[in-house]
Amino acid sequence: NAGVMQNPRHLVRRRGQEARLRCSPMKGHSHVYWYRQLPEEGLKFMVYLQKENIIDESGMPKERFSAEFPKEGPSILRIQQVVRGDSAAYFCASSPGELTEAFFGQGTRLTVV
């Protein structure tokens, strides 16, 4: 059973470009969470999704950021018109249900130049 898979591991984007981060949860996991980690800081919750539904997006910036978890395929975190402040590590976690252990992926390190 492969763990949570995220790709790409590293992503470099110029200011104004779009970034797409992908997350495939562990097999049998229907709950996906995205977190952002700035250098030397803790993880900040962004969004919680189940298949085809956004359950809680209270941590998502109001503009430029969106997330989806379609019926087929990975969850996608999309950042439009990236700015330098978007540079961070973005981690995805998945769990089989509510209030269960969440497993993290290796993260995508986004650098905006």
> Facing residues of 19 across strands?
79
Is there binding between residue 69 and other proteins (CB under 8 A)? no
DSSP category for residue 26: P
> Facing residues of 45 across strands?
35
Q: How far is the CB of 1 from other proteins (least distance, A)?
A: 16
Read off the tokens for 47.
């969004």
Q: How far is CA 18 from the centre of its chain?
A: 14
Q: How far is the CB of 101 from other proteins (least distance, A)?
A: 6
Q: Which is nearer to other proteins, 7 or 45 (CB)?
A: 45
Is there binding between residue 25 and other proteins (CB under 8 A)? no
Q: Which is nearer to other proteins, 33 or 69 (CB)?
A: 33
Is there binding between residue 33 and other proteins (CB under 8 A)? yes
Q: Which is nearer to other proteins, 72 or 101 (CB)?
A: 101
Phi and psi of 84, rounded to 5°? -55, -35
Is there binding between residue 39 and other proteins (CB under 8 A)? no
> Facing residues of 32 across strands?
49, 94
Phi and psi of 23, rounded to 5°? -145, 120
Among 65, 107, 108, 112, binds other proteins (CB under 8 A): 107
> Facing residues of 47 across strands?
34
Q: What is the contact surface with other proteins in residues (CB under 8 A)?
A: 31, 33, 35, 41-45, 48, 55-56, 58, 91, 93, 95, 98-107
